[in-house]
Structure 1
Amino acid sequence: MNSHPPTPPARGALSRRGLLRGGLAAGGLGLVAGASGCGSPLGAGLVGSQLDPGTVTFWNLFGGGDGARLQTMLDKYVVDTGPDSLQAATFAWGNPYYTKVSLATIGDQPPDVAVAHLTRAANLAQAGLLTPITEEMLGTVGLTSTDFNQKVWAAQKVNGQDWTVPLDTHPFVMFYNSEVCEKAGLLDGDGKLKPIQGVEAWEAALTAAKQATGGLGLSVANVNEFATPWRFFQTLYSQQEGATDFLSGAGTEITFNEDLAAKTLEYIQKLANDGLISKAADYAGSQTDMFTGKSAFYLQGEWEITTAQGIKDLKFGMVPVPTIFDKPAAQADSHTFVLPKMERTEAQVKRAMGFIKSMLDQSMTWAAGGHVPAYLPTLDSSEYESLEPQADYASAADVAVYDAPAWYSGSGSNFENIVGAQIGLVQQGLSSPKAAISSIRSQLQSYASTANPL
């Protein structure tokens, strides 16, 4: 396993912004145009794009089931507003996407609206690449800030300003195989998982599940996978009193509680050594264990609901990760809409906000893929409350723990790769907690001491 991330830029290195504004904007935009690699229609910022003045340009990074559901939502927007009302482009997930958005904005060719993970939007905002979202802007389409889950709304603020319109929360959750759990005596009279709270009840449930499967109690990916180990660790770490942010000062300081981190890693390693959780499993293997009854439980983002629903004859449920320690917590992120920085007329603002409002109004379509709606009229609706198993884990959004803001952190980031790799090695028994923490600190320090390249 390669646990070493790409070398960060030196402190004196020329930033992308300096490069583009130094006279190479055309080359930068050419890179954006030629690097999508997905056959999507050209969007704003792409060479040769000639658009109707009333067209909204929209960039996103959704693939798979999310991409299919988004397309349904986009199709409805076009039906409602006209055939020339939208030009959408989809780009590769993770760092490549955020590089494209940054380059296009710096080069004065951004899309009208873009998707950003909440944990990545903060860096774009601090770099001056986003337009703030005001109550007046929300009001142009009948929205207010109180229309959103306030946990998410508070998390997206940077320097006291609002920068995003949240679409969802996607927390780390626990799937369970209903047939195995019934055999293990873990279901109630309605066929739902009995509440699990505290270390003793948690380990008793895993032990009963292990006896029922003859294999594992719980499966969680840690081989050739970095994000999942980080999500697992961050969830358990954040459930304990004394947990501090991993990073502070916009990523310039490494501030996690080392003693608590070591305790959490020791616990993960103990569960693996006792055979209660998977010691070594890749992403696909971890879910297959639960799907085939080799484990009773499976930890992952709720988006894997689509995969589980596609398994013939699989009876399963989903709940928030149990409160094992002192308080409920679940690692999470949110998909949000942002307005890349550009000069906009009132009409352009209203058109962009109208597009966002259309997406929010279709939050039930989005919720089918597992994500918890951030838009309260949908989240609090009887239609959503009757949606199973989605409604059974929706409360996880209220205890969401977001990655600490930094230019190198957030979903799909170098931070998650660095930390997740070391946690995975501990779970596999290939590293000690002490060695993992030392490696994490050493690798993160090079990023923490490097100026934001934007």
Structure 2
Amino acid sequence: MNAVWRFGAVAGVAVLMAGSAAAQETVVWWDFLSGGDGVRMKQLIEQFNAEHQGEVVIDATTLEWGTPFYSKVQTSAAVGEAPDLMTYHASRIPLAVQQGILQEITAADWEAMGLSPSDYDPATLDAVTSDGKQYAVPFDTHPIVLYYNKDVLGEAGLLTEDGLPKGLESAEAFTATLQALKDAGVQFPMGSVTADGNFMFRTIYSLMGQQGGELMTDGEFLAGDNAEKLQNALSVLAGWTEAGLQSTYTDYPATVALFTSGEAAMMINGVWEVPTMMDLQSQGQLFEWGAVELPVIFEQPTTYADSHSFAIPANQGKEMTPEKRAAVLEVVGWMAKNSLFWATAGHIPAYGPVTQSEDYKAMQPNATYSALTANMIFDPKTPLAGVAGPIFDVMSTYFVPTLNGEMDPAEAVEAIREELNDLN
């Protein structure tokens, strides 16, 4: 083999390698996922990268949940330094649209992802839509549920033949179940995050929804009889505290600890704590447990939910190439189609073909509570709503003293109504 041929062959290989390298698209990804769901998302990313080697690679960074994440996205998008793709709460979409930091998801994008809007629950899809335009693709819904200790409730004779807690059908019946647990010597019949009004918003808003109530009507907060419905919700929860049926001034970690230690027989918390329970049980460190839809305290089953979704930032002065957008959409489509694994984080996948699959229907406890998607309510569509938003902050100020017996529910509601409407 002469030197010229050898040089030509090497040069040819170099050109092919350079072409191959150029063909691979890197998708810069930001999320706010930690704990059990963060671990599972990292596994999904690793699987995607392995399956798309040489074509698309996800370069992922996890940032701090809540205000720090959203502030960084806003400032980064303004100078063209936001990621190519990010996780985003559906509840934050109206504010993001007002800020101009999200790109619209178009019909062509749906086709490129290999997905269809008809694959999604209308309420979930509506949660990421503003003025008829869609700005994100839902990945899940993550409602709150009722966790319960099957061993404790069983010993107290408070389980149905189906292994569910008794008393889920009314306020009177459920309160009777809590009282029976207290009478049986259970220290905390219910563990509740009563020291964090931001978290308790989820429970209280659910109970408003069970009365057909809504937080905002035609731009006005607590219009008509909605103030009364909020007061009803607060009164029930405050009554449980006064009767010693739920924990007082308990923060989030302490609430989880009360339940997992067996001191609290039940707990209202997000589905994202399912991995905690699964992991402890697999290590032989947890009792038999279950998770079900919230009890119907008022007229109808209703549960507050939010949605982790995928959004594409609108980077100022930095237009996304067609090749980059194709890579981003490939990531989103793949994640949807492989979201059965995401369900092990407790979340309910938003992609219908997954939740309708036999594998998902056999998954516990997810399959037990997934029917609640028919009864979900989302945040009102306003830039004031959403995770760590002004609505949460205002209501949190009054929820904590009210739930802990230091403020009258009627007084709290009046103050909330005034402060919320002052925000407009």
Which TM bucket (shorter chain)? 0.7 to 0.9
Q: Is contact 2:113–2:332 with CA below 8 Å preserved after alignment?
A: no
CA distance in structure 1 between the partners assigned to 2:178 and 2:73 by the alignment: 44
The equivalent of 2:44 in structure 1 is 73
The equivalent of 2:149 in structure 1 is 177
CA distance in structure 1 between the partners assigned to 2:314 and 2:340 by the alignment: 29
- Is 1:255 equivalent to 2:230 in the alignment? no
Q: Is contact 1:186–1:193 with CA below 8 Å preserved after alignment?
A: yes
For 1:409-424, what aligned pairs fall within 5 Å after superposition? 409-424=385-400
Q: CA deviation at 1:446?
A: 4.6
Task: State how many pairs are aligned.
Answer: 393
CA distance in structure 1 between the partners assigned to 2:140 and 2:202 by the alignment: 17
2:71 maps to amino acid: T
CA distance in structure 1 between the partners assigned to 2:185 and 2:275 by the alignment: 24
Q: Is contact 2:197–2:397 with CA below 8 Å preserved after alignment?
A: yes
Q: Is contact 2:32–2:69 with CA below 8 Å preserved after alignment?
A: yes
Greater CA radius of gyration, 1 or 2? 2
CA distance in structure 1 between the partners assigned to 2:415 and 2:115 by the alignment: 46
Instruction: Tell me the percent identity.
Output: 28
Q: CA deviation at 1:200?
A: 2.2
1:69 maps to amino acid: R
Q: Deviations over 1:144-198 (max 9, x none)?
A: 1011222201222110111110000000110000011102222233534356212
- Is 1:54 equivalent to 2:25 in the alignment? yes
* Greater helix content: 2
2:341 maps to amino acid: T
For 1:237-316, what aligned pairs fall within 5 Å after superposition? 237-241=208-212, 243-246=213-216, 248-249=218-219, 253-256=220-223, 257-311=226-280, 312-316=285-289
Aligned CA RMSD, in angstroms, stands at: 2.1
CA distance in structure 2 between the partners assigned to 1:294 and 1:211 by the alignment: 14
1:394 pairs with 361, 370, 384, which one? 370
Gaps of 5+ in 2: 1-21
Q: Is contact 2:120–2:350 with CA below 8 Å preserved after alignment?
A: yes
SS in 2 for 1:310: helix
- Is 1:349 equivalent to 2:325 in the alignment? yes
Q: CA deviation at 1:419?
A: 0.8
CA distance in structure 1 between the partners assigned to 2:409 and 2:85 by the alignment: 43
2:215 maps to amino acid: D
1:401 maps to amino acid: I
Q: CA deviation at 1:308?
A: 2.2
Q: Is contact 2:167–2:176 with CA below 8 Å preserved after alignment?
A: no
Q: CA deviation at 1:324?
A: 1.6
Q: CA deviation at 1:85?
A: 1.9
CA distance in structure 2 between the partners assigned to 1:146 and 1:161 by the alignment: 16
Q: Is contact 2:148–2:290 with CA below 8 Å preserved after alignment?
A: yes
The equivalent of 2:60 in structure 1 is 88
2:96 maps to amino acid: L
CA distance in structure 1 between the partners assigned to 2:160 and 2:410 by the alignment: 41
1:189 pairs with 161, 178, 187, which one? 161
Q: Is contact 1:213–1:296 with CA below 8 Å preserved after alignment?
A: no
Q: Deviations over 1:217-272 (max 9, x none)?
A: 2121111x23222112111111013x1224653xxx42352222222222221121
The equivalent of 2:353 in structure 1 is 377
Q: CA deviation at 1:141?
A: 2.7
Q: Is contact 1:126–1:158 with CA below 8 Å preserved after alignment?
A: no
The equivalent of 1:19 in structure 2 is none
The equivalent of 2:414 in structure 1 is 438
CA distance in structure 2 between the partners assigned to 1:190 and 1:431 by the alignment: 39
The equivalent of 2:182 in structure 1 is 210
The equivalent of 1:12 in structure 2 is none
- Is 1:363 equivalent to 2:336 in the alignment? no
CA distance in structure 1 between the partners assigned to 2:264 and 2:258 by the alignment: 5
Q: Is contact 1:172–1:231 with CA below 8 Å preserved after alignment?
A: yes
The equivalent of 1:227 in structure 2 is 198
Q: Is contact 1:209–1:295 with CA below 8 Å preserved after alignment?
A: no
CA distance in structure 2 between the partners assigned to 1:98 and 1:87 by the alignment: 19
CA distance in structure 2 between the partners assigned to 1:327 and 1:315 by the alignment: 29
SS in 1 for 2:345: coil
Q: Is contact 2:398–2:412 with CA below 8 Å preserved after alignment?
A: yes
CA distance in structure 2 between the partners assigned to 1:363 and 1:199 by the alignment: 36
The equivalent of 2:207 in structure 1 is 236
Q: CA deviation at 1:445?
A: 4.2
Structure 1 residues 382 and 82, CA gap change in structure 2 (3 angstroms) = same
Q: Which moves more between the two structures, 65-74 or 179-188?
A: 179-188
Q: Which moves more between the two structures, 280-289 or 324-333?
A: 280-289
SS in 1 for 2:340: helix
CA distance in structure 2 between the partners assigned to 1:409 and 1:246 by the alignment: 10
TM-score (norm 2): 0.87
